[in-house]
Amino acid sequence: MQSLCLSASARVRVSIPGPTSPRLARSLSPAEWAPEIPMGSVRRSAPLCCTRGLQEASALDNETYSLINSIEVREWESGKSIDDIAANQGIRIRRHPSTNTPRNILEKIIWDKVIEVSELKKEKPLTLVKETLADAPPARDFVGALKASYERNGVPALIAEVKKASPSKGVLREDFDPVEIAKAYEQHGAACLSILTDEKYFQGNFKILEAVRKAGVQCPLLCKEFIIDSWQIYYARSKGADAVLLIAGVLPDIDIKLMTMECRELGLTALLEVHNERELDRVLNIDGIQLIGINNRDLETFEVDNSITKRLLEGERGEIVRKKGIIVVGESGLFTPDDVSYVQNADVKAVLVGESLIKQNDPGKAIPGLFGKEILQLLTMHLV
């Protein structure tokens, strides 16, 4: 997203929503805050424009304008903290530790991620990341690849995950050659790949993402990361990601709205991950969402229950998903053709599979075993 500013003329920039709204300040890097006018002088009713100037104000600016005037920002300005806003939306993960003991593993991962990202941002501020965007390989159409694969094969499109380890299962594969695995997945019909980039808990990293892309793999790539800050979205794109994961159990609505807008600007697909009805309802209320993942694994307890996908897509919610043309991905805990048919019958058009493939001697050759048949490779390159 361009720097947000209020402007009397295109040359006078005032950052919004001002010092009383640290949340948006966090989304935009300090480098983007315009220094010319004291923060206190911001009037919320003033017209909004981007640094591009008034004449060039785009649809995104209008969208941003309504967003910053939205309820969440008002609540923020009236003194609510991000954790209060999140808790009101049913989010149990707290962003700012109030005690030294995280309530569960996901909260611990998020607290560590907050520290990690703040250090990375110091090393490489957003303005520098943005400068490298032009060198990134062009973004590929993640959703297009899923749809094409589903139509071609009649079974859910496969997003095959390149993951060395996980906090719930430990090391999944000692002999881990991510590029070879990625190539094998593609050869055996994966529509897209998911690359874990979290180092501390999943033993992944961004070099893997870059290496897979550079090795000539054509499948669109999902950057599987715990995103808590817009900086990470720009960084993921600069490293060649075509899609990013946004976890509704971690991110309040205001973050999801801002981040999906940023993704659109960058040509990235946002995969919105939900695990319960409330999260799905929140995501369905946000415009412009194309792809929702239902995680059968509860990231707070690691329990896996495939019936979650079915339960969430039953009745009215399923109707809304269909009407909006949203593609649903069934995530985690899928091991057999029966598991795949079960989620397919719940109306899932894609599956995200890690463990059951990566643990096999030959992860690529394990794909037909998962679907009960060979699935065809898509040779077309999907560029956005």
373 has catalytic annotation: no
d(C-alpha 42, C-alpha 272), whole Å:
33
Is residue 283 helix, strand or coil? helix
Compute the least distance from the CB of residue 205 to ligand IGP, in Å: 14
For residues 347-369, b (16+ Cβ closer than 10 Å) or e, as one string? ebbbbbbbbbbbeeeebbebbee
Catalytic residue among 32, 72, 107, 161: 161
Of 24 and 334, the one with the shorter C-beta distance to ligand IGP is 334
Closest CA to 340 of 308, 309, 371, 376: 371
Q: Quick one: DSSP state of residue 139?
A: P
224 has catalytic annotation: yes
Catalytic residue among 7, 295, 296, 306: 295
Catalytic residue among 15, 296, 306, 332: 332
Of 28 and 106, the one with the shorter C-beta distance to ligand IGP is 106
Catalytic residue among 121, 164, 183, 224: 224
295 has catalytic annotation: yes
Determine how many CB atoms are found less than 10 A away from the CB of residue 111.
18
Closest CA to 145 of 186, 200, 202, 114: 186
Binding site for ligand IGP (CB under 6 A): 161, 163, 224, 273, 295, 331-334, 352-356
d(C-alpha 161, C-alpha 358), whole Å:
8
Compute the least distance from the CB of residue 330 to ligand IGP, in Å: 9
Compute the least distance from the CB of residue 292 to ligand IGP, in Å: 12
d(C-alpha 258, C-alpha 36), whole Å:
25
Q: Which position's Cβ is nearest ligand IGP? A: 354
Q: Quick one: DSSP state of residue 323?
A: H
Contact by Cβ (8 Å): 140, 383: yes
Catalytic residue among 163, 239, 257, 349: 163
41 has catalytic annotation: no
Compute the least distance from the CB of residue 90 to ligand IGP, in Å: 18
Largest CA distance in the chain: 65
Of 153 and 295, the one with the shorter C-beta distance to ligand IGP is 295
Compute the least distance from the CB of residue 352 to ligand IGP, in Å: 4
273 has catalytic annotation: yes
The catalytic residues are: 161, 163, 224, 273, 295, 331-332
